Chain A
Amino acid sequence: EPEVTQTPSHQVTQMGQEVILRCVPISNHLYFYWYRQILGQKVEFLVSFYNNEISEKSEIFDDQFSVERPDGSNFTLKIRSTKLEDSAMYFCASSANDRGHSNQPQHFGDGTRLSIL
């Protein structure tokens, strides 16, 4: 079964550095998402991406964050000037969702555990 893949599985970075988290969504999916889950807390929506542009973003997704689809397969999340509170699991998800047919589930990658020191 096709799956979403994320790399790296664990990233350790010094505070203030930039990190890039990588995702390869399922190949025929059209919508891509990034979520964050701080240890022991709920999953939080960051951003959704469709047709090579951001379609929705949350209050968390400020100027520190950016997303990019540099080629036909990768979908990246860049975090600039990382802070201690950016330590979390970051999940990428994709769906075949056509907005007229919202019953397509979002399939999640295994996540990247980001640790800021």
Chain B
Amino acid sequence: GQNIDQPTEMTATEGAIVQINCTYQTSGFNGLFWYQQHAGEAPTFLSYNVLDGLEEKGRFSSFLSRSKGYSYLLLKELQMKDSASYLCAVLDSNYQLIWGAGTKLIIKP
């Protein structure tokens, strides 16, 4: 079966750095997405990785290792507004997005 694992919840301090990990086992791979979802709102696109390595976009970076079935999202200079759920999703061989359950990130002052 298809499976995406990420931690249920993480806590970090304002101004700090946090890394949210995601491991996946899917039928085929056509890229991995990270989305941010505030409570009661729609997911919003953060990043896309299809090749191994690090993609940097401002305070957010995403890393992919296809051989390990592993990705992480790195958030720097954390702000209170970064409190949200972070969803890892993999595009499988049928170009269907398979979603993780999300990691709830709590930022403390």
Contact = CB atoms under 8 A, between A and B. Distances in A.
The judgment on whether A and B are partners is: yes
Nearest to B42: A108
A18 interface: no
Nearest to B31: A102
A110 B42 contact: yes
A42 B100 contact: yes
B31 A108 contact: no
A97 B95 contact: yes
Interface residues of A, number: 21
Contacts, number: 50
Interface string A29-61: 000010000000111110010000000101000
Contact of B48 (A43, A56, A103, A108): A103
A105 B33 contact: yes
A103 B42 contact: no
B44 interface: yes
B50 interface: yes
Interface string A93-117: 0000101001101111111000000
B42 A111 contact: yes
A109 B45 CA distance: 12
Nearest to B34: A105
B13 interface: no
A75 interface: no
A107 B45 contact: yes
B101 A99 contact: no
